[in-house]
Amino acid sequence: MAQALRKEPNIVVTGTPGVGKSTICEELSRKTGLKHLSVTELAKKHNISTSSEDPEDPSTRIVDEDRLLDVLENDLEDGGTVIDWHACDLFPPRLVDLVCVIRCDNKILYDRLKARSYAEKKLQENMDCEIMEVLLLEARDAYDSEIVVELKSEKTEDIDSNVDRIEQWITQWKKDHGK
């Protein structure tokens, strides 16, 4: 019922840090006008994250998920959002229309995370996360398998092809929902 009220869908773009979520979200938002909700930015703006207690890795921020949902709720109810976060199972299924799990070859991911100057431990944890397909499994556990898609983002041209694919999906969603 709530789904039918939304004029535009809500899309979650998830994946291991560095796979290219923000890049796709920014381009998708630019081309479609959907609202890019970066959880990292929202957490800063609303002051809803704390430093990790790991002394080796104080740069990692822990987001208060209940408060995050409070912040996001109105936007999600209205629809037309692209949510950019390296977790996905916290977003209520009734408010999520598509989950894109962005994937990337390990060697490429390693270079991208190195370029971010990640500490070795954090870098390895993220590499393991990608190798073990943690986000893909989390998405498949939390949502209907029909709304979970895996998209590779390794080469520059993958950005446009992924955005085109999601745009086509949005057009179809609107037709299917009489929008």
Binding site for ligand DAT (CB under 6 A): 15, 17-23, 112, 153-156, 158-159
Give 28 or 170: the residue with its C-beta nearer to ligand DAT: 28
From the CB of 21, what's the least distance to ligand DAT, in Å? Answer: 3
- What distance in Å separates the CA atoms of residue 65 and residue 83, rounded to the nearest whole number? 14
- Minimum Å gap between C-beta 14 and ligand DAT is 9
Q: Nearest Cα to 32, choosing from 164, 153, 152?
A: 164
The residue behind tokens 């037309």 is 80
In the complex, the smallest distance separating the C-beta of residue 111 from ligand DAT, rounded to whole angstroms, is 9
- β-sheet bridge partners, residue 61: 51
In the complex with ligand DAT, the residue whose CB is nearer, 6 or 39, is: 39
Rounded to a whole number of angstroms, the minimum distance from the CB of residue 82 to ligand DAT is 12
Q: How many CB atoms lie within 10 A of CB 53?
A: 9
d(CA 11, CA 45): 21
Q: Which residue's CB comes closest to ligand DAT?
A: 20
